[in-house]
Amino acid sequence: MTDPSPPPDAGDIMTVVHEAIGGIELEPAEKREIWRFTQRELPYLWSQRTSYFILGSYRDPYLRRLRAVQNELTKQLGAYPFIMGDLLELPTDRLNTFDIMFSLLATYSDYIVGVFEKESGGEAPELGEIDDPPYFDKSYVFPRDYAWVADENLDSKQHVIQAALEIAFADDLSEDEVQLKVDSLVDRARKSRFDIDEQEVWDVVDDRLNTGAEPATYSWVHLNKFRKFELHNRCFPWTTEEELRTVVSDLPSPTPRPQWEASGER
């Protein structure tokens, strides 16, 4: 196999690599593998297409949600959504391969999209990477069941649903007690803040109870990072896969949406 030659912007690439590995001197074979990776994967990010680097857990059933996001973005003309696990790997035993790949892909992608459903796993350090420069300004997070300080204030539909899920999965409540408390929750929300479809709340609760999917829980660190994105209008909570597919449309689009779609005239 012919050894890959350095690309024209090799200097910039190596700056990213050296920052990822802490300035360790690379061996010739390691440089060749890095050039091979960049020649294989980075041209997709340098193309005219809009690239979306999708982060999240690769375990089942979480990977299915990453694929759902990828499929929704693929529907957009000019989009290139990708998951790092699908790409060519760097076959180096000595170096921290993940950090190199992540840094290169995050640096040259147009947008970074994080899907979160739990506080453990590989997606946890990824969240810590994207909530600060140089990646923060192009990053968006999609945390399942997230609501900032979900208390009696009930500031949004997400607050109400999150509170309803916590009631439904409480160990010490009977079915009748869950029914009464959720109904009361919806009534309080309607009286104090906004109108909400009670059936929509119960659809989510019933689906979770039937599947046994308990509400996602996050550490205080996670919640604060989500809140930072929320304050910048780049946090989109969701409760069901269908809702996740819908909120993905809030991401920046490669091309303007057609006028008939925006107006709903067709």
Residue range 67-107, pLDDT digits in tens? 999 999 999 989 999 999 999 888 778 888 999 999 999 99
Q: What is the pLDDT of residue 155?
A: 64
Whole-number percent of the chain with pLDDT over 90: 43
Separation CA 130–CA 142 (nearest Å): 13
State yes or no: pLDDT of 196 exceeds 60.
yes
Q: Range of 113's domain?
A: 10-146+216-251
Question: How many of the other CB atoms lie within 10 Å of CB of 165?
Answer: 24
pLDDT in tens, 126-167: 999 999 999 999 999 999 988 775 445 566 777 787 778 777
Separation CA 95–CA 21 (nearest Å): 7
Rounded mean pLDDT, 29-46:
91
- Whether 7 contacts 35, CB under 8 Å: yes
Q: What is the pLDDT of residue 260?
A: 45
Residues 128, 66 within the same domain: yes
Residues 61, 173 within the same domain: no
Q: Which amino acid is at 181?
A: K
Q: What pTM value is reported for the model?
A: 0.79
Residues 245, 132 within the same domain: yes
Residues 200, 237 within the same domain: no
Classified as helix, coil or strand, 42 is helix
- Provide the number of structural domains found in the chain: 2
Residues 120, 138 within the same domain: yes
